[in-house]
Amino acid sequence: MAFDSFAAFMAMEGHGPYVWACYAVFFVLMGLMMIWSVRSRKAIIESCRRGYEFQADKSKVAAPTPSASFARVNVSQD
């Protein structure tokens, strides 16, 4: 083993505070990124669901009647 005791392992010849602070920052940021990612995914799925519900509600509403009508006119060619 490279270290004589657990205390020596934690101290790492004076570099311990830097090394363990880096590990702590890494794991905290990874945890925050995971939480942010899950919340963002849920928000996007909810937004899509609302969009689909809006489209479904919109299709249930009666279609507007056209303002103009086109009737066939018979024209005689004499």
DSSP readout, 21-58? Answer: HHHHHHHHHHHHHHHHHHHHHHHHHHHHHHHHHHHHHH
Distant-in-sequence, close-in-space partners of 31: CB < 8 Å, separation ≥ 6: none
Distant-in-sequence, close-in-space partners of 73: CB < 8 Å, separation ≥ 6: none
The predicted model scores a pTM of 0.57
pLDDT tier for residue 46 given thresholds of 50, 70 and 90: very high
Asked if residue 38 lies in contact with residue 45, where contact means CB atoms within 8 angstroms, the answer is no
- Across the range 23-32, mean pLDDT stands at 98
Reading phi first (left if > 0) and then psi (alpha if -120 to 50, else beta), residue 14 is in: left
Report which of residues 31 and 78 the model is more confident about.
31
Task: Determine the distance from the C-alpha atom of residue 23 to the mean position of all C-alpha atoms in its chain, rounded to a whole number.
Answer: 27
